[in-house]
Amino acid sequence: MIIKVSITDDHEMVLQGIASMLSDTPELDVVGLYNNAQETLDNIEKDHPDILFLDINLPDINGIDLSKRLLKNYPELKIIALTNFEDISFVKRMLKNGVHGYLLKNTDKLDLIKAMKTVLSGELFVQKDIQNKLLTQSTQTTVDNGLKPNLTRREHDVLVAISEELTTQEISEKLFISPKTVETHRMNIMSKLGAKNSVGIIKIAIEKQLL
Class (C level, CATH) for 3-125: alpha beta
- Domain boundaries defined on the chain: 3-125, 137-207
User: Exposure of 19 by Cβ count < 10 A (0-12 exposed, 13-18 middle, 19+ buried)?
Assistant: middle
The mean pLDDT of 133-157, rounded to a whole number, is 69
If 0-12 CB within 10 Å is exposed, 13-18 middle and 19+ buried, where does residue 95 land? buried
Q: What is the mean pLDDT of residues 72-89?
A: 92
pTM of the predicted structure, to 2 decimals: 0.68
Architecture of the domain spanning 137-207 = Orthogonal Bundle (1.10)
- pLDDT, tens digit, for every residue of 157-209? 999 999 888 889 999 999 999 988 998 898 889 888 888 888 889 888 888 88
What pLDDT, on the 0 to 100 scale, is given for residue 137? Answer: 60
* Average pLDDT value for residue range 92-97: 89
